[in-house]
Structures are given as structure tokens and as C-alpha cells.
Amino acid sequence: MIPFNFPPYFDSAEKYLKQVIASGHVSGDGHFTALCSKWMEERCGAQKAMLTTSCTHALEMAALLCGISQGDEVIMPSYTFSSTANAFVLAGAVPVFIDIRPDTMNMDERLLEEAVTEKTKAICVVHYAGVACEMDAIMQTAKRYGLYVIEDAAQGIMSAYKGRELGTIGDFGCFSFHETKNYTMGEGGALLVNKESFNLAAEIMREKGTNRSQFFRGMVDKYSWIDKGSSYLPGELNAAYLWSQLENAEKMNNRRLSLWEYYRAALVPLAERGVIELPVIPEHCKHNAHMFWIKTRDMEVRSRLIEYLKNFGIAALFHYIPLHSAPAGLKFGRFSGCDRYTTAQSERLLRLPMYYDLEQTQQKTVVDKIADFFK
């Protein structure tokens, strides 16, 4: 069996988990939470990083911090996970979906301006597969219309656009540390706050609407309910598990890039025959090998390939059903312009097994079976 994903594990995780248990502090914002936050601030160049219970919650915090409310509109791609839209729908906003680029599967930045209305409050970009959107054009449009930019960089940690780490370019960046991501704490995420003026509000919101963080820093003599908020802190056990990977982040990233390059090189002959398409990485983008996808001719070929690989114990998966065609998307959002690529490309895309401990012999099996299928 070659699974689609398997969470990374280092022996140090057990030691760190035991440390947390022995400390008597298993709730949030302890020693390992601080280490993880500091790592993100220093490695990613983030102004402020805060661990959250999920990337979904990081997105929800960003929506609230931007003051998004009933009747506002937020522009985003339709080819994304439901969390991207849910964060804004929960705040009362309308997700306005735009078409994607077929090369990177990211939102088409050229379609942004025509989607802007007097109700538009923000743009939420999604860096698909850890490959950056065209952020220069997006930021220029946002500046022109006075819009917030929120980066859904769930898959984008350790990736960059023109030398800038993903998640640090817009007003807010949101990471995921879900089990399926490059670095994991089981369930978890992080919010990057890129403007210092939002720091205090974000702290209060994350601490159930209280100024508890200030109290622990000795800035106030007692803490109380200050503003709206919720419980967005992950437990310290989760943070300890994550830290065991972040301290090995470069090693893990290099390993994943090696796996990604193996797939690419081994599948070039099939691409040259025209039976599949391979991922495109723009020259100015540094990716993190979050996933390796291929595209088949159409959905029918993809479905047969998935079943064929399954017969050999290989788990290969398709990805998102476009949100604008989903029941909730029809109910809460609308599509701006023409769906030229979103649906058609989503029906062709297939993700291959990709995880830190994947062996090259397993990759060879995957590639060989794909080649056999196309014979």
C-alpha cells in the first residue's frame, strides 16, 4: 500500500510531549507555542505570528480583523477548500468567485478588477500547491480600490514570491498545520499579522476577547473582557509535536523538493507524448513541494486512472469540487465572469502520493503504473 499522505514524525516529538505533560501546562501559549511562533516570525519574516487551532480559524480571525460584515463582498477563486469561503460567509459576506489560471491553478489576477464592486471589502488569494499567486498585480488592484488582502497560504509555508515568503505579502497570512500539510500538529494553523496596528486586536480576539496576553506580560494588573473573540489557541501538546518538525524544516523541505523533482523528471516522457500535463512553477516563485499533480485528458480518463492505481494499492486523489457549483456556493456566493477553466481543469487534476517518508522505490512504482496505464 502506498498511501496518499502519511504525517511526518521525529523521535524528538515524544521527548517534547513528555516535557509538556511533566510541566503541568498543557493548555495554549506555553513554551513550545512560543518557539513555533518565533520560528515563523524569523524564518518567514513575519511581523507577528500566532498559532491557531486551524487555518480555518486563522481565516475567520482575519475576516473579523478586517471588519468584514453583512453585505460585504470578498473576491476569491472557486477552486479552493470550503474554509476559504466559510470564513467570510460566517461574517455575513458574499464570496465572489473568479476563474483560475490553467497553469498554476491560482486565481487569474487579470480578472480581479472586473469583479470589484462598491461592496467589495477584500481579496482572499489561495496559493495552490504552495505556488504563489501573482501578488504584484493583486496588491496593485487592492491598493487601487482600498481593499484588504488575505493570503490563504494553507499549503504555502516555506514558499516565496519574488523573494518574499507567502503569508507575509498581504495584510494577513494564514497557514495550515493539518495532518495533510508539509508540517503538522494534527489539527492547527497560524495567523500572520503583517501590520503592527492589528497586533493588539488580534491578541484580544484570539484570547476569547480578553486582554489576558497583556496580563501575562505584566502590562495590566488584571484581565477582562475587552472585545469580541473566541478560543483560537491550540493546546501545548499540539505545539510540541509541531516544533519537532519546524526545527527540522529545512531538511524536510529539501527532501520534499527531491521527491517532487523525481516525479517531474520521471513523468516528462508521458508529458511529451501528450497524455498528461505536469505542474508549472513560474521562475519568480519558490515552491515547497506541497503536492505533485498531473492532469489527464478529461475526467473519464482520470477516474479510470484512479481506479487502476487503486488496484495496485496506490492512493491517488482528485481535489476540490469548485465552490461556485456546490450547494453552499450557489446559496451564499456568486461567480463573476465566465467559468472558462475552473471546472474543466478541476476535472482533469490528479494528486500523486507525496509525504516526507515516501521512498523513491515507491515513487518508481507509482510512475511505472501510470506509464503502464497509458500503454
Same domain, 171 and 297: no
pLDDT number for residue 211: 87
pLDDT number for residue 215: 78
Q: Hey, CA dihedral for 142, 143, 147, 150, is it positive or negative?
A: positive
Judge whether 102 lies within some domain. yes
pLDDT tens, residue by residue, 33-62:
999 999 999 999 999 999 999 999 999 999
Percentage above 90 pLDDT, the chain: 95
pLDDT number for residue 329: 97
pLDDT number for residue 125: 98
pLDDT number for residue 212: 83
Same domain, 237 and 255: no
Give the span between the Cα atoms of 35 and 227, in whole angstroms. Answer: 27
Same domain, 242 and 281: no
pLDDT number for residue 213: 82
Same domain, 186 and 266: no
pLDDT tens, residue by residue, 261-287:
999 999 999 999 999 999 999 999 999
DSSP-derived pairing of the beta strands 120-126 and 73-77: parallel
For the chain, list residues with pLDDT below 50.
none
Same domain, 182 and 314: no
Same domain, 128 and 270: no
Same domain, 291 and 240: no
Ramachandran quadrant class, 162 (left: phi over 0; alpha: psi -120 to 50; beta: rest):
left
Same domain, 205 and 303: no
Same domain, 68 and 112: yes
- Cβ proximity of 130 and 290 under 8 Å: yes
Same domain, 52 and 23: yes
Give the span between the Cα atoms of 191 and 170, in whole angstroms. Answer: 12
Structurally, how many domains does the chain consist of?
Answer: 2
What is the span of the domain harbouring residue 258? 249-374
Judge whether 7 lies within some domain. no
pLDDT number for residue 291: 98
| Domain finish residue from 211, 246, 281 | 246
CATH, residue 61: 3.40.640.10
| Cα distances (Å, whole numbers) of residue 195 to 32, 40, 192 | 24, 15, 9
DSSP-derived pairing of the beta strands 189-193 and 48-52: antiparallel
| Domain finish residue from 196, 225, 246 | 246
pLDDT number for residue 223: 84
Alpha helix segments (H runs only) across the chain:
12-23, 31-43, 55-65, 82-89, 112-115, 135-145, 199-206, 212-216, 236-246, 249-273, 299-310, 327-332, 342-346, 360-374
- Cβ proximity of 323 and 78 under 8 Å: yes
Same domain, 41 and 107: yes
| Domain finish residue from 225, 246, 267 | 246
Judge whether 4 lies within some domain. no
